[in-house]
Structure 1
Amino acid sequence: MRWLVNFILLALVVVAIGLWVTRPKTDDADLLAGLTADEAHGEEVFIASGCASCHMVEGATDEAKLVLAGGQSFPSQFGTFRAPNISTDAEAGIGDWEAIDLWNALHHGTSPDGSHYYPVLPYSAYIHLEPQDVVDLHAYMMTLPADATPSEPHDVPFPFSIRASLGGWKLLFLDDDWVMQGELSPELTRGRELVEAMGHCAECHTPRNLLGGHKTGAEWMSGAPNPAGRGTFPDLVTLDWSAGEIEEYLNSGFTPEFDSAGGHMALVVENFAQLTAEDRAAVAAYVKALPIQ
């Protein structure tokens, strides 16, 4: 019987160490001290990051897209996730958040109450945002309308409902290394920022392993099944469009075959069309530089 007691004690110690190592991480407000917010740049970050595309009410149009009341559903093999209210309502949304709260959510996947966010919030991409980007984004978001609609709960079955386990996921898959590395031109550097960070393009276009982590190397941006079960997202590695055709698609939504973007991609195009022609050219340059070895 003594061996059983010792085994249980050892197991408890191992669990305690594991929970400590994988605990939600946060940074102090000192990280952002001295940064002056630029709302205009924050709007650019907001658009490029597709914040409204996921957090607006489904079917919203025009100015209503800036009412970030949430509610859209995102099915996956781990359950169905629902976009929360991130409007400026202090109770239902994030109206009482400071810039450091937004930083910790986007950089560490940690909520203001110290719990793990699910990576359906693509913090594995947003981790690449600079502190200035987040300060500016926060300033812009605080200018948007408030909405008191409560966030809807996720529908995630056991064991994925155990948020403490997300610390292990982060330990395995959350890091701030860029996928495309090496000596990059200014255009490719900007393309990397838009594709890997703000645009979080890998969320749809990169296949995942059994634990939901992105595959890298030559499989990066090589296409992936739609987690909702309808078709696949295209392979960008073998895309035979010219850079100019990619730029045009991101501006108008029309393919070289005169087809048009549909589904959620139509919202992505709507976002990129609001960016500069230079930004669309930078994304095209990144895509044409694939695959990554």
Structure 2
Amino acid sequence: MLGKLVRLGLLGVVIGAGLFWWITTPNVWEPEALANVDGDPDKGALVFAAAGCASCHAVKGTEGANKLSLAGGQAFETEFGTFYAPNISQSGEHGIGDWSFADLANAVSFGTSPEGSHYYPAFPYTTYENMEVSDIADLYAYLKTLPAVETPSLPHEVGFPFNIRRSLGGWKFLFAGKGWGLEGDLSAEETRGRYLVEAMGHCAECHTPRNAIGGLDRSRWMAGGPNPDGEGRIPNITPHEDGIGGWAVVDIETYLNSGFTPEFDVAGGQMAEVVENLKLLPPEDHAAIAAYLKRLVPLPRAE
């Protein structure tokens, strides 16, 4: 009887280990899904702006054309450790200059490195995974036009158990996967706004509160919450009186293009960077974002 129990226990361990290995295996695109997709660098420049790539990967404090030297190094302090934006310049040694289109697509859509390991979700791939392959191809084509910077990426400062990369597959199993925060019958303009906000703009990464292990609390979609770095709070951007309920569509459009609120305050901190990116988009995209925000469920500010 004891021997049978031991064998059953060992079988359970083997099955459990196999299940863990399956769940935590990094995902990648099937080659046929990426075949015959050609990128346009001019369109890619708009994807680059909408996705806010320079806001994280440019050297902190750089201005103008220097913001396109994507050497990384910016620090993001969280309760799980400090993460540093990597070099994503065209350096073959220190950046992504030798990456294929598939390498970039796997990183953006699944948080999977060219070596087949998991990236930390400080890189917002759980949002970018909703991006169309054609937009990733355009982004790839644009990145190829940018300079190489020979600056090594800084290592993340993450302690046990968060430094076990394989375990990130379990986190992805719980919180990754394509899907929208705003569902329902949307107009073409609202659908475009949803794509800009939820896929490229990754606004929920800051404006939606998180649970104890860092997953987005989708029941509080865009209701704001604590700043991950511990300084201040992220605003509620739902159409509730605690958020932007008093803002007209034109107020939102003006803010996205200039940074000025209806009260003549001005965007600061990280939002100032976001406005710098969004003002590069055409006016119809500003209108689409405003239409999307007005369709959100009004929620009181998350505490």
Q: Shorter chain as normaliser: what TM range?
A: over 0.9
Alignment of 1:260 onto 2:266: yes
The answer to whether the 8 Å contact 1:109/1:123 transfers is: yes
Tell me the CA shift for residue 177 of structure 1.
1.4
The answer to whether the 8 Å contact 1:32/1:131 transfers is: yes
For residues 69 and 173 of structure 2, the distance between their equivalents in structure 1, rounded to whole angstroms, comes to 34
The answer to whether the 8 Å contact 1:68/1:87 transfers is: yes
The answer to whether the 8 Å contact 1:57/1:72 transfers is: yes
3-state SS in 2 of match to 1:265: helix
3-state SS in 2 of match to 1:74: strand
Choose from 153, 156, 160 the match for 2:155: 153
TM-score by length of 2: 0.93
For residues 229 and 250 of structure 1, the distance between their equivalents in structure 2, rounded to whole angstroms, comes to 25
3-state SS in 2 of match to 1:285: helix
Choose from 49, 61, 64 the match for 1:62: 64
Q: Give 1:233's aligned residue.
A: 234
3-state SS in 2 of match to 1:104: helix
Report the number of matched residues: 292
For residues 12 and 230 of structure 1, the distance between their equivalents in structure 2, rounded to whole angstroms, comes to 45
Residue range with higher mean Cα deviation, 21-30 or 220-229: 21-30
The two structures, once aligned, show a CA RMSD in angstroms of 1.6
Tell me the CA shift for residue 15 of structure 1.
2.1
TM-score by length of 1: 0.96
> Counterparts of 1:12-23 in structure 2 under 5 Å?
12-23=14-25
Alignment of 1:92 onto 2:94: yes
For residues 224 and 123 of structure 1, the distance between their equivalents in structure 2, rounded to whole angstroms, comes to 21
Q: Give 1:244's aligned residue.
A: 250
> Counterparts of 1:174-189 in structure 2 under 5 Å?
174-189=176-191
For residues 236 and 27 of structure 1, the distance between their equivalents in structure 2, rounded to whole angstroms, comes to 33
> Counterparts of 1:193-212 in structure 2 under 5 Å?
193-212=195-214
For residues 105 and 292 of structure 1, the distance between their equivalents in structure 2, rounded to whole angstroms, comes to 33
Q: Give 2:84's aligned residue.
A: 82
3-state SS in 2 of match to 1:80: strand
Deviations 1:68-91 (A, max 9, x none): 000000011111100000000011
For residues 291 and 98 of structure 2, the distance between their equivalents in structure 1, rounded to whole angstroms, comes to 39
For residues 79 and 167 of structure 1, the distance between their equivalents in structure 2, rounded to whole angstroms, comes to 18
Deviations 1:98-127 (A, max 9, x none): 111111001111000000011111011100
Residue identity matched to 1:88? Q
Alignment of 1:280 onto 2:286: yes
Tell me the CA shift for residue 6 of structure 1.
5.8
The answer to whether the 8 Å contact 1:28/1:100 transfers is: no
3-state SS in 2 of match to 1:75: strand
Task: Point out 4+ residue stretches in structure 1 off by more than 6 angstroms.
Answer: none
Tell me the CA shift for residue 259 of structure 1.
1.0
Alignment of 1:138 onto 2:144: no
For residues 155 and 18 of structure 2, the distance between their equivalents in structure 1, rounded to whole angstroms, comes to 28
Q: Give 1:270's aligned residue.
A: 276
Tell me the CA shift for residue 28 of structure 1.
3.2
Q: Against the structure 1 CA distance between its residues 59 and 5, is the aligned structure 2 distance closer, same or farther, given a 3 Å change threshold?
A: farther
Q: Give 1:289's aligned residue.
A: 295
Q: Give 1:36's aligned residue.
A: 38
Deviations 1:22-72 (A, max 9, x none): 200112332121122211111110000000010000101111100000000
Tell me the CA shift for residue 181 of structure 1.
1.7
Identify unmatched segments of 5+ residues in structure 2.
none
Identify unmatched segments of 5+ residues in structure 1.
none
Tell me the CA shift for residue 21 of structure 1.
2.4
Deviations 1:135-160 (A, max 9, x none): 11001001100011000001111111
3-state SS in 1 of match to 2:83: strand
Tell me the CA shift for residue 11 of structure 1.
2.5
Residue identity matched to 1:267? E
Residue identity matched to 1:181? E
Q: Give 2:48's aligned residue.
A: 46
The answer to whether the 8 Å contact 1:180/1:292 transfers is: no
For residues 51 and 298 of structure 2, the distance between their equivalents in structure 1, rounded to whole angstroms, comes to 23
For residues 161 and 24 of structure 2, the distance between their equivalents in structure 1, rounded to whole angstroms, comes to 17
Choose from 99, 108, 111 the match for 2:110: 108
Residue range with higher mean Cα deviation, 101-110 or 17-26: 17-26
